Amino acid sequence: MRFIDARTVAFKRFAAPPEHFTQLTVDAVHSRVNDVPTVALPGGTLIPILQIVGEQWVAINPDVPGEAVNPVPPSGLTAREVFVADGPTVLQLTDFRRGDTSFLPPFFSARDQRAYFTASADPLGSNPSHDCQIFSMEPVTRELRQVTFFHEGGDHAAACIGAPHGCRIDFNLSAPFAQNAVAGTIYFLSECDPLGFNANGNQLFAIQPDGTGLQQVTDARGLVRGADRTVEVEVVEQLWAYAPPR
Q: What is the pLDDT of residue 78?
A: 85
The percentage of residues in the chain with a pLDDT greater than 70, rounded to a whole number, is 77
Q: What is the pLDDT of residue 197?
A: 86
Q: What is the pLDDT of residue 146?
A: 98
Q: Which residues contact 45 (CB under 8 A, 6 or more apart)?
A: none
Tens digit of each residue's pLDDT (9 = 90 or more) over 41-70? 455 555 555 455 556 788 998 888 888 998
Question: Is the per-residue pLDDT at 242 higher than 70?
Answer: no
Q: What is the pLDDT of residue 118?
A: 96
C-alpha 45, offset from chain centre: 29
β-pair partners for 232: 224
101: confidence class by pLDDT, cuts 50, 70, 90? very high
Using DSSP, how many helices (H) and how many strands (E) does the chain show?
0, 19
Tens digit of each residue's pLDDT (9 = 90 or more) over 19-32? 455 667 777 777 77
Cα 27 from Cα 151, distance rounded (Å): 44
Long-range contacts, stretch 51-55, CB < 8 angstroms, 24+ apart:
51/89, 53/86, 53/89, 53/91, 53/140, 54/84, 54/86, 54/89, 54/113, 54/139, 54/140, 55/86
Higher-confidence position of 66 and 213: 213
Q: What is the pLDDT of residue 41?
A: 46
β-sheet with 83-85: strand ranges across: 58-60, 83-85, 90-92
The percentage of residues in the chain with a pLDDT greater than 90, rounded to a whole number, is 34
SS3 for 85?
A: strand
Question: Is the per-residue pLDDT at 216 higher than 90?
Answer: yes
Question: Is the per-residue pLDDT at 147 higher than 80?
Answer: yes
Q: What is the pLDDT of residue 225?
A: 77
17: preceding bond cis by omega (within 30 degrees): yes
Q: What is the mean pLDDT of the chain?
A: 80
Question: Is the per-residue pLDDT at 38 higher than 70?
Answer: no
β-sheet with 186-190: strand ranges across: 169-170, 186-190, 203-207, 215-216
Question: Is the per-residue pLDDT at 83 higher than 80?
Answer: yes
Q: What is the pLDDT of residue 50?
A: 47
Do β-strands 63-67 and 78-80 pair in parallel, antiparallel, or remain unpaired?
antiparallel
Tens digit of each residue's pLDDT (9 = 90 or more) over 1-10? 666 566 677 7
On whether the pTM is more than 0.85, the answer is no
- Full set of structural domains in the chain with CATH: 2-37+55-234 (2.120.10)
Higher-confidence position of 83 and 67: 83
- Strand (E) positions, 51-197? 58-60, 63-67, 78-80, 83-85, 90-92, 107-109, 114-119, 133-137, 144-146, 169-170, 186-190
